Amino acid sequence: MGVRLLILAVLSVVLMVVDARFDTFKPVRSQLGLVLTPFYWLADLPVRAWEGMTSQISSRSELLAENEKLKAEALLLQRRLQKLAALTEQNVRLRELLNSAALVDEQVLVGELIGVDPNPFTHRILIDKGSRDGVTLGQPVLDARGLMGQVVEVMPYTARVLLLTDTTHSIPVQINRNGLRAIAVGTGNPERLELRHVADTADIKEGDLLVSSGLGQRFPAGYPVAVVKEVIHDSGQPFAVVRAVPTAALNRSRYLLLVFSDPRSAEQRAADSAEAQEQADRAAAEQAQPSTSGTQP
Partner 1 sequence: MMAAPAPRGGWLIMLTLLLALLLSVAPMPAFMDIGRPLWLALFLSFWVLSVPHRLGLTTAWLFGLAEDVLYGSLLGQNALILCLVCAMVLGLQQRLRVFPQWQQALVLLVIFGLAQLLQLWLQALAGNRPPTLEFMLPALVSALLWPWVQGGLRSLQRRFQVN
What residue ranges bind partner 1 (CB under 8 A)? 1, 4-5, 8-9, 11-16, 18-20, 25, 28-29, 32-33, 36, 39-40, 42-44, 46-47, 115-122, 124, 152-153, 160, 167-168, 188, 251
CB within 8 Å of 228: residues ≥ 6 apart = 175, 195, 204, 205, 206, 207, 208, 209, 210, 242, 243, 244
- Name the residue nearer to partner 1 (CB basis): 117 or 133: 117
CA-based max dimension of the chain = 101
The count of other CB atoms within 10 Å of the CB of residue 239 is 14
- Name the residue nearer to partner 1 (CB basis): 40 or 239: 40
Closest distance of CB 29 from partner 1, Å: 6
Closest distance of CB 128 from partner 1, Å: 14
- Name the residue nearer to partner 1 (CB basis): 41 or 239: 41
Closest distance of CB 190 from partner 1, Å: 9
Looking at the DSSP bridge assignments, the partners of residue 161 are: 125, 151
Closest distance of CB 220 from partner 1, Å: 25
Closest distance of CB 15 from partner 1, Å: 3
- Name the residue nearer to partner 1 (CB basis): 161 or 204: 161
- Name the residue nearer to partner 1 (CB basis): 34 or 102: 34
Considering Cα of 52, then 148, then 79, then 87, what sign does the dihedral take? negative
Closest distance of CB 167 from partner 1, Å: 7
Return d(Cα 163, Cα 122) in angstroms, integer. Answer: 9
Considering Cα of 203, then 204, then 207, then 208, what sign does the dihedral take? positive
The count of other CB atoms within 10 Å of the CB of residue 211 is 20
Return d(Cα 141, Cα 177) in angstroms, integer. Answer: 24
Looking at the DSSP bridge assignments, the partners of residue 259 are: 108
Q: State the amino acid at position 21 in one-letter form.
A: R
- Name the residue nearer to partner 1 (CB basis): 118 or 294: 118
DSSP per-residue string spanning 178-247: T--EEEEEE-S-TT-EEEEEE-TTS---TTPEEEE--TTSSSPTT-EEEEEEEEE--TTSSSEEEEEEES
Closest distance of CB 117 from partner 1, Å: 7
- Name the residue nearer to partner 1 (CB basis): 159 or 244: 159
